[in-house]
Amino acid sequence: MDKPLISVIVPIYKVEEYLPSCLDSICSQTYKNLEIVLVDDGSPDKCGDICDRYAESDPRIKVIHRANGGLSAARNTGIAVATGEYIGFVDSDDRIEPDMYQKLIAAAVSEDADLAACGRMDAYADVSVPIRIEAGIYKDRDILKAMLDDKLGEGTVWNKIYRREYVVSALFPEGYDFEDVLTLYRFVARMNKAVVITDPLYIHLIRNSSICHDHTVKNLIDYWHAFHTRYTDVMSYPEYSGDREVEALLLKGCASAVSRTWRWAYGLRKVDKPAVDELTSEVSSFVKTHYGTFGVKGYPKVYNLMLFLARSDNGVSKFFAYHINQLGRKIKGVDDRLN
């Protein structure tokens, strides 16, 4: 089998507790032809020292120390120095199974694919849950559809490898949370072939402090921005502009952002009322234009409830949405599995 070089990019910031196990899992891969790019994004703890120590013992490791610029900037810095035919990403508090890259590159080479993806394991404090995805091969326009339908393993960049040319032509937008949503569709939109293996080989640590569990005004605005921008961009591509299946998948993603906005807007108005009200006004207008009064058949019930409430951009609808959300969290039990 061909043994292409895979560049593994690891953005690092304030994870000294988790970093050694992450790096151990990468360095011990059964597939040895790796270039491991560690980007210390101005981490104030001992992460920089840990990176340097690992580089001393493994010549495949490149360490870049830079001023803090955020996750996207760190990933872009890694992309700029990566030389591999394929590029992969690992978050610095996660781990990977020993044979992840062996299996991904075997699938990519066998199918001459531009992307190979695998399942993942969600690691909570008390239990690990395997998230398998259906094995498959997708071509041309079906790749984007598969990504939007979560058939490539949700909208994350880290359980995959990509042919280099598709990554360097679509860098991560800096200054935003949920950068994977803003980037992955641009990676895959013009790919020719993707292959998926079902094995849960990427171990994703679920932490309360992660961006997905952060409820701030910026977080709320960035979440809507990510899905709305993805919708607008893809619908402007000539090859997808009239594709109703693609539009339906994009709108379902936007519905998740509507739901998140309305569930948290009332509480966050106390922090920055003008910014939240501007956001909800934009979201409400989008809902009235793109969804029926009672939502969409097949959507989760909470999506349709929030879509209904979002049609009325007023304090009452936000009040009900927020308190319905809080009641639901109390019934289920508030823990790190709720977002």
38 & 170 share domain: yes
135 & 219 share domain: no
Print the domain residue range for 173. Answer: 6-211
Using the predicted structure, report yes or no on whether residue 30 has a pLDDT greater than 90: yes
pTM equals 0.91
In a domain, 339, yes or no: no
52 & 166 share domain: yes
110 & 75 share domain: yes
In a domain, 1, yes or no: no
Long-range contact set of residues 76-83: C-beta below 8 Å, sequence gap at least 24: 76/171, 76/172, 76/174, 77/39, 78/7, 78/9, 78/10, 78/11, 78/37, 78/39, 79/9, 79/167, 79/168, 79/171, 81/37, 82/7, 82/9, 82/35, 82/37, 82/164, 83/5, 83/7, 83/35
Using the predicted structure, report yes or no on whether residue 28 has a pLDDT greater than 70: yes
Q: Helix, strand, or coil here: 199?
A: strand
In a domain, 94, yes or no: yes
Over residues 101-127, the mean pLDDT reads 95
pLDDT in tens, 245-288: 999 999 999 999 999 999 999 999 999 999 999 999 999 999 99
Using the predicted structure, report yes or no on whether residue 211 has a pLDDT greater than 80: no
In a domain, 274, yes or no: yes
33 & 76 share domain: yes
On average, the pLDDT of the chain sits at 92
Over residues 314-326, the mean pLDDT reads 90
In a domain, 320, yes or no: yes
pLDDT given for residue 210 in this prediction: 46
pLDDT given for residue 331 in this prediction: 60
Number of domains in the chain: 2
Using the predicted structure, report yes or no on whether residue 215 has a pLDDT greater than 90: no
In a domain, 338, yes or no: no
123 & 203 share domain: yes
The candidate with the shortest Cα–Cα distance to 10, out of 50, 48, 37, 43, is 37
pLDDT given for residue 208 in this prediction: 61
254 & 305 share domain: yes
